[in-house]
Structure 1
Amino acid sequence: MPLVRTDSMQDIDFTLRRQFGKKSFRPQQREIINATLEGKDVFVQAATSFGKSLCFQLPAVIDHGITIVISPLLSLMMDQVKALRNSNIDARTLNSNTPFAERDHIMKDLGTGHPLTRLLYVTPELCSGPYFRERLELVHRQKELARIAVDEAHCISEWGHDFRKDFKRLSWFRERFPDVPIMCLTATANEQVRNDILTTLGINGPNLKAFTMSAFRPNLHLEVRFTSDQTDDRYDDFVSWLKGVYERRGKPDRKPELDEMGERVENVSGIIYTTSRDECESLAASLRSHDIAARPFHAKLANQDKERTLQKWIRNEVGYDIIVATTAFGMGIDKDDVRFVVHWRLPKSFEGYYQEAGRAGRDGKASYCFLYYSREDRDRVCGMIVKDNTSGDRRDKGGEANKRARMESHEALVRYCEDTGGCRHAAITKYFGEKEVPKCDFACDWHKDREGLKRRWREGLASEEWVCTQREEGAFEDYYYSE
């Protein structure tokens, strides 16, 4: 079936069903879509499960002209473009990996001034190039530039955990195209980061419509499990927990349809996040040796292997219950039924932890998120941050503000893990600046068993104090880390 333009589809409910295969909008999605169709600048802060991409994809299908989507992750762009094209929407991506023939087609399409492409995904680095800017100026003169959508907008702020310098240069869009609406979207921004985003993009005026949703995910059970290098009990603990889940839900030996009572057997699909490719491979292999269907996923795997693993996992095929992945996995993947997310190692930032844990339970059903925390991992991660801030070879490094932000985010995550005196959900919402304390219905380890949490903290952690910030730079150079 050829890709077609769909300017005649003015009914957003009809477009939602026909083009995107969804029955209904999630709360506030309709309001966000209406706001951008009205020409408003839009700021969206919502949890990983919200469905932010639909907020600019659906208007691009309905509206006249082309939507430019700026994203920092090549894998995310390619996944979304593939999904859109499967839905018969002319979406394309222009980045360093785009084949010459496709790049030539896109540039010629833009050069007409009346592009047929509905959504064009680009990197922030590309937006700084004069040739691309000239093409957009031509499109704008023909009144065909519908909107600019900035995904992962927290990358704009030096106070964000993942600052990238080229995001700062996106201020050019408002300077050059003051009449073109801008939409920015993020899951992780405190008040300081939000202000940076709005100021840099020039969308803090009366035309702005802001949508800030709570970070509270009541269907997620949050837990920290304490360990140490000495005990190193992660593996036995996890296998014991997962076998208990299998027993409760009924793990099939072949792909299930119905159980003995005629009910569909629910899958136990999950993600385990770790930091190194080596551990990703070895952990997946160990789990398979215990008859647990786990597969590795990281950047060094062949593209065809990653694609096969991803599709089989999304379809819940036998042998693909669990993905053992490095941190980039999961962004933009449309899988609602992830029943658990496990952090095998401590993430580098509070925001990273929140985003990754949020990939569980997007269907609103109860899901489990736990993090294995050791003070040795704490110090190793601290050492990585020190190296990142001093090595001089990271293009996304910022100035002193970003260095402080990275360390402060890590310290906040450490405090979250070490805290045995309060609700996990309340700690998350407080970190993102929310004033109201959420009603946690025994959905965290503190609410479920306060005394047990304190006991596990005492038994699971060594007694040494945190000394990472006092150590000399380079003290952890022998630690292998790879995203």
Structure 2
Amino acid sequence: MPLARSDSLQDIDFTLRQQFNKTAFRPYQREIILAALDGKDVFVQAATSFGKSLCFQLPAVIDRGITIVISPLLSLMMNQVETLRAANVDARTLNSNISLAERDRIYQDLATGHPRARLLYVTPELCSLDRFRERLKFVHEQRELARIVVDEAHCISEWGHDFRRDFKRLSWFRETFPDVPIMCLTATANEQVRRDILSTLGLDKTPERLRNFTMTAHRPNLHLEVRFTSDEANDRYDDFVTWLKGVYSRRAAADRKRELDATGERVENVPGIIYTLSRDECESLAAALRCDEIGARPFHAKLPKEVKEETLARWIANEPGYDIIVATTAFGMGIDKENVRFVVHWRLPKSFEGYYQEAGRAGRDGNASYCFLYYAREDRDRVCNMVMRDGPGSGAGGAGSAKNKQARLESLSRLVEYCEDTNTCRHAAICRYFGEEQVPECDYACDWHKDAPGLKRRMMKGLASEEWVSTQRQEGAYDDYYYSD
């Protein structure tokens, strides 16, 4: 049974300090947690820096029973479980990476009907298996199933950029356990995706139980910039190294008398992430940066587990030589590092949502941070071809369905428009994409506000010539859908 509201008000502040070592809630976290403890269904859409995980982890510690957390990424689950266990919270995960002995222990815990685990992280695929469902039914009969949490809930919708077919089957939870509260969380959902999430999970059928928290996508502390380039020269590498060494020089000049700057970081340490689209480029780019005496390390799925764990731990700890992670797009989800000072997209991402989510990993501490995207029409065309090659039904998650392909094409098209738009505030464009009616503009925190005429000149100089684009169209190499010029 959920705690009474008066008890919750007292317990959440104590639990925040005692269990999570935090002194204060961020805006709206308290309201979301209280709604969860009141037994409401909850929908949360908030930017990457918001702290969505606390909104279900803290109620799980207070509430009676077990909270089931459904997540699409193994690395995300493992990271959160390790963090919770370090805070003395009994959190576990059922996935393909755990040992058979650990799997048996978890199933035995569920078989008691009164599990000791407070949170159990699982994949959407596991939720379709009869053995797991039968265990949850028994736990529910004992009144010990506290809450169902769907993290990265945009994966439910075929109109979302990361659709996973097994997320659709999560409708089973409301059909089977109509009295168990459901919480769903995402950073990237437009109005169509939000409606799809609520409909699939059955939350729209009981609107009186639903609390909706849809926050602005605006991140005023991030400086957003598009840097126009091409593949014909090594210009983006030279541009980045020049920029980064300029940052080092400015920070050193600002305070040469102290070893540490005002943020508590070494002058030569500017924590950052560079996103690429291929594992080979992760490796080669990180190696090139190290040759220029810049502490960069690759991070991708094919690296040995122990290498990834060491790289992540040393990067989070701001150790020398681990200043920058050069990563593929899965990196960063669920990683609690607040002082990332820059995020660079080396290549055009595959979706607007992916770009926003990845850029949002900068500046989680609220301090000024830099996000720029290298944009070349050659990159655009490669990504277009990658999306087009995904035929109906391709991909383990079903991302190649006709409806989902249409959504991904539209998202990519909007990202291209965003890159080539030289007449609008970048922050306003992002908020408009996610359907915000009151669109804020930044305080000179984007390239358009900072220098609109210069932005237009840089675009005209940096992009491929109109003759080249015209030739590609005439040869039928690419669909006109992608050309916004």
TM-score of the superposed pair, with normalisation by structure 1 = 0.92
Q: Is contact 2:74–2:95 with CA below 8 Å preserved after alignment?
A: yes
SS at match of 1:206: helix
Map of 1:352-431 to 2, 5 A cutoff? 352-389=354-391, 392-397=394-399, 399-431=401-433
SS at match of 1:271: strand
Please, what is the CA RMSD of the aligned residues? 2.3
Alignment of 1:335 onto 2:331: no
Alignment of 1:87 onto 2:87: yes
Map of 1:264-303 to 2, 5 A cutoff? 265=266, 267-303=269-305
Question: CA, structure 1 residues 468+166, in 2 after alignment: closer, same or farther (shift >3 Å)?
Answer: farther
> Partner amino acid for 2:461?
E
Question: CA, structure 1 residues 259+336, in 2 after alignment: closer, same or farther (shift >3 Å)?
Answer: closer
**Farther-moved stretch of structure 1 (39-48 vs 242-251):** 242-251
Q: Is contact 1:10–1:62 with CA below 8 Å preserved after alignment?
A: no
Aligned to 2:146: 146
Aligned to 2:34: 34
Aligned to 2:134: 134
**Farther-moved stretch of structure 1 (447-456 vs 262-271):** 262-271
Aligned residues: 465
How far apart, CA to CA, are the structure 1 residues paired with 2:286 and 2:263? 32
Q: Is contact 2:49–2:361 with CA below 8 Å preserved after alignment?
A: yes
SS at match of 2:34: helix
How far apart, CA to CA, are the structure 1 residues paired with 2:354 and 2:401? 20
CA displacement, residues 229-269 of structure 1 (integer Å, 9 cap, x when unaligned): 123400000000000000111299xxx98449998646410
Aligned to 2:73: 73
CA displacement, residues 369-424 of structure 1 (integer Å, 9 cap, x when unaligned): 00000000000000111112358343332532111001100111000001111100
How far apart, CA to CA, are the structure 1 residues paired with 2:283 and 2:182? 41
Alignment of 1:447 onto 2:454: no
Q: Is contact 1:162–1:396 with CA below 8 Å preserved after alignment?
A: no
> Partner amino acid for 1:56?
F
In structure 1, the gaps of 5 or more residues are 1-6, 475-483
> Partner amino acid for 2:136?
L
Q: Is contact 1:250–1:265 with CA below 8 Å preserved after alignment?
A: no
Aligned to 1:214: 216
Q: Is contact 2:297–2:325 with CA below 8 Å preserved after alignment?
A: yes
Aligned to 2:3: none
> Partner amino acid for 1:234?
R
Aligned to 2:483: none
Alignment of 1:49 onto 2:49: yes
How far did 1:470 drift?
Answer: 9.0
> Partner amino acid for 1:352?
G
Map of 1:200-279 to 2, 5 A cutoff? 200-204=200-204, 205-250=207-252, 258-259=259-260, 265=266, 267-279=269-281
How far did 1:98 drift?
Answer: 2.0
> Partner amino acid for 1:168?
K
SS at match of 1:31: helix
Question: CA, structure 1 residues 380+251, in 2 after alignment: closer, same or farther (shift >3 Å)?
Answer: farther
Question: CA, structure 1 residues 127+410, in 2 after alignment: closer, same or farther (shift >3 Å)?
Answer: same
Q: Is contact 1:386–1:473 with CA below 8 Å preserved after alignment?
A: no
> Partner amino acid for 2:358?
E
How far apart, CA to CA, are the structure 2 residues paired with 1:364 and 1:229? 34
SS at match of 2:412: helix
Alignment of 1:58 onto 2:58: yes
How far apart, CA to CA, are the structure 2 residues paired with 1:451 and 1:123? 49
Aligned to 1:165: 165
How far apart, CA to CA, are the structure 1 residues paired with 2:475 and 2:106? 52
Identity level (%)? 72
Q: Is contact 1:9–1:62 with CA below 8 Å preserved after alignment?
A: no
